[in-house]
C-alpha cells in the first residue's frame, strides 16, 4: 500500500508540475526532458493547492499547517494554501452505527432516543451528528455527537511516513533544508493529528476552556457530557447558534457586529495571556454566536499552550510594536534565546525597522498586526532565528482572529482592545505584585523544607557510616545556607512590601 501511495504522490507531482519546486540540477532537468510536453497556465501556488486536494484529506491538513509557516515557504504559496478547506465526503451511516455500538457495548438506540444519521459537518478526522439523549443524567437533552472517521489512523500512519521521507529529501536537496527542520515539522503535524484522534483528549480540552470562561460573559463553551464520551465518540451540548460569518443572520438578531469584533480579539488575548491555553483552530467553521450575542465555539482538538517565557516574549513584542520601539523587539528576541546571543542588536533593530515602518505608516484600521508578526519572522530568519512551533500556532490563530474581526467590522483596531490586557498581565508578572504572587507559589515548598533540618542532624549523629555522616553534614550545611538565604529574601520582601505600601499611600490616585 505504501508503494502504491508513493507512486500516486509522484504521479501527482508530475501532473501538476511540482518538480518546479526542486532545486536546479540533474533531477529537475530530468523531469523537464522526460515531460517536455507539459505546459501550465496556473500559478504555482494554485497547482500546489490542487495537488494536495487530489492527494486527500491528510495532505490537505498538512497544506493548512504549511500555510501558517510563512517562515518556511514563500508568501504566494502560503496565501494559496490558506484557501484549503478541510471538508470531505461523510462516511456511511452503517459505519456510524458500528462505531457507536462498539463504543457503548450495546445498541446505540439505548443511548439516544433520536439520532440523525446524516451528519451536519464532515472533516478529514471526524464528523458530527445531532441527537437526543435518552439515558443517564442528561436524558432528553439535545446533543452534538462527534465520531472519528473509521480507518483514519492507518491512513495517517502511512501518509506521515511518506511525508517524513519527503522531509529527509528536502533536508538533503535544499541548501536551507536543515535550518528549516522539515522533519520536526512533520513530527509536529503527526502529533497534532494523533491528538485529534483521541476524543477524550478533546473533551478534556473543552472542559478546561469551559472552566476558564465559567461566567460565560465573553465566551460560552458547550458542556461535555462525560458519561457518553469515548475515545472514538464525544458527546456535548448542542447549541442553537449562528455561524460567525453569517452577517445577515447576526444583524437580523440585532447583534452588534462591531462589539462582536472587539470581543473576539479580547477572547484571544485573554486565552493567551491570562490562561496560556488557547483554541488554535479559530476559523469561521469552528466559531459561532449565540442569539444572545455571546461567542461560542466547537472543535477543541487543536489547542495551543504557552509558557510564562513565551507569554513574556509576546507581551514585550506586542507592547514594543504598539509603541514602535524596535530596539525592545530586538532585545526581546535575544533575551528569549530565539536568535543567537552574538547577534548585533543595532543590525537586528535596523532590519526590523526597515520592515515595520512602512506598515505603521498607514491608518490604524489598515494595520494587521498578524501580518506584522509574519514580517518579523521573515526578518528573524535572516538572523538564524530558531523556529518555535508554539508561536506558529499562535500566529496562525492571530491571523484568523484578526481577519475574522475585520470581516465583521472593517474598522477594527486591535491596539485599544489588546493593550489593556497586556498591561494587566505585565503588572501581575513584574514589580511587587509579581513578587508576592511568586512567594505564594514558593511558600509551601519552604514550609516543607525548613522543618527537616533537626531530623537531618539527628539522622547524621546516629549514622555509623563516616561517608554518609559527611554527606549528611554537607546537606545540613547546605540547608543552613538555604535557610539564611531564605530569611534574607523574606526580610527583603517585607521591606519591599512596606515600601510599596508607603508608595501606594502617598501616590495612589483611586
Residue 149, φ and ψ in degrees, nearest 5? -65, 130
Cell output for 333:
528576541
Check if the beta carbon of residue 456 is closer than 8 Å to that of residue 475. yes
Catalytically active residues, by annotation: 281
- Of 418, 417, 421, 481, the closest CA to residue 449 belongs to 481
Residue 310, φ and ψ in degrees, nearest 5? -60, -45
Which segments within 176-329 are labelled E, that is strand? 219-220, 233-237, 241-243, 277-279, 287-290, 295-297, 303-305
Cell output for 332:
526581546
Check if the beta carbon of residue 304 is closer than 8 Å to that of residue 277. yes
Residue 362, φ and ψ in degrees, nearest 5? -135, 165
280's CB contacts (< 8 A; 6+ apart) are: 302, 303, 304, 393, 394, 396, 397
Check if the beta carbon of residue 264 is closer than 8 Å to that of residue 187. no
First to last CA, the chain: 71
The C-alpha atoms of residue 16 and residue 23 are separated, in whole angstroms, by 17
Bridge partners (DSSP) of residue 287 are: 297
Residue 357, φ and ψ in degrees, nearest 5? -60, -45
Query: Where does residue 349 rank: exposed (0-12), middle (13-18), buried (19+ CB within 10 A)?
Result: middle
Max Cα–Cα distance, the chain, nearest Å: 90
Amino acid at each position: 500500500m505504501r508503494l502504491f501511495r508513493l507512486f500516486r504522490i509522484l504521479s501527482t507531482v508530475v501532473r501538476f508540475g511540482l518538480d518546479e519546486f526542486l532545486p536546479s540540477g540533474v533531477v529537475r532537468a530530468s523531469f523537464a526532458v522526460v515531460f517536455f510536453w507539459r505546459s501550465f497556465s496556473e500559478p504555482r501556488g494554485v497547482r500546489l493547492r490542487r495537488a494536495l486536494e487530489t492527494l486527500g484529506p491528510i495532505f490537505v491538513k498538512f497544506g493548512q499547517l504549511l500555510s501558517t509557516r510563512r517562515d518556511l515557504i514563500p508568501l504566494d504559496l502560503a496565501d494559496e494554501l490558506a484557501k484549503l478547506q478541510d471538508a470531505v465526503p461523510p462516511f456511511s451511516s452503517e459505519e456510524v452505527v458500528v462505531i457507536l455500538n462498539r463504543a457503548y457495548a450495546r445498541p446505540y438506540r439505548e443511548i439516544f432516543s433520536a439520532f440523525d444519521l446524516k451528519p451536519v459537518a464532515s472533516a478529514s478526522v471526524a464528523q458530527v451528528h445531532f441527537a437526543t439523549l435518552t439515558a443517564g443524567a442528561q436524558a432528553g437533552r439535545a446533543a452534538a455527537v462527534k465520531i472519528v472517521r473509521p480507518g483514519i489512523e492507518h491512513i495517517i500512519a502511512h501518509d506521515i511516513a511518506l511525508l517524513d521521507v519527503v522531509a529527509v529529501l528536502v533536508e538533503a536537496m535544499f541548501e536551507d533544508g536543515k535550518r528549516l527542520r522539515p522533519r520536526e515539522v512533520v513530527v509536529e503535524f503527526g502529533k497534532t493529528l494523533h491528538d485529534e484522534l483521541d476524543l477524550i483528549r478533546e473533551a478534556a480540552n473543552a472542559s478546561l476552556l469551559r472552566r476558564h470562561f465559567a461566567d460565560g460573559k465573553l465566551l460560552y463553551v458547550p458542556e461535555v457530557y462525560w458519561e457518553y464520551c469515548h475515545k472514538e465518540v464525544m458527546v456535548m451540548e448542542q447549541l442553537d447558534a449562528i455561524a460567525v460569518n453569517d452577517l445577515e443572520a447576526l444583524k437580523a438578531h440585532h447583534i452588534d457586529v462591531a462589539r462582536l469584533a472587539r470581543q473576539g480579539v479580547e477572547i484571544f488575548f485573554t486565552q493567551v495571556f491570562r490562561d496560556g491555553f488557547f483554541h488554535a483552530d479559530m476559523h469561521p467553521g469552528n466559531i459561532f454566536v449565540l442569539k444572545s450575542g455571546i461567542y461560542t465555539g466547537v472543535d477543541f482538538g487543536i489547542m495551543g499552550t504557552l509558557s510564562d517565557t513565551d507569554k513574556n516574549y509576546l507581551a514585550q513584542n506586542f507592547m514594543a510594536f504598539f509603541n514602535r520601539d524596535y530596539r525592545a523587539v530586538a532585545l526581546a528576541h535575544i533575551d528569549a534565546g530565539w536568535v543567537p546571543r552574538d547577534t548585533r542588536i543595532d543590525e537586528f533593530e535596523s532590519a526590523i525597522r526597515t520592515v515595520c515602518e512602512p506598515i505603521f505608516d498607514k491608518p490604524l484600521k489598515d494595520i494587521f498586526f498578524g501580518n506584522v508578526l509574519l514580517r518579523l519572522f521573515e526578518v528573524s530568519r535572516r538572523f538564524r532565528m530558531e523556529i518555535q512551533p508554539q508561536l506558529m500556532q499562535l500566529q496562525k490563530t492571530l491571523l484568523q482572529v484578526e481577519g475574522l474581526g475585520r470581516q465583521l467590522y472593517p474598522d477594527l483596531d486591535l491596539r485599544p482592545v489588546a493593550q489593556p490586557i497586556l498591561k494587566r498581565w505585565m503588572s501581575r508578572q513584574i514589580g511587587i505584585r509579581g513578587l508576592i504572587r511568586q512567594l505564594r507559589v514558593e511558600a509551601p515548598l519552604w514550609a516543607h523544607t525548613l522543618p527537616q533540618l533537626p531530623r537531618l542532624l539527628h539522622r547524621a549523629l546516629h549514622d555509623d557510616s563516616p561517608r554518609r555522616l559527611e554527606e549528611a553534614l554537607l546537606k545540613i550545611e547546605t540547608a543552613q545556607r538555604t535557610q539564611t538565604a531564605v530569611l534574607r529574601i523574606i526580610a527583603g520582601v517585607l521591606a519591599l512590601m512596606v515600601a510599596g505600601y508607603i508608595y501606594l499611600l502617598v501616590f495612589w490616585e483611586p
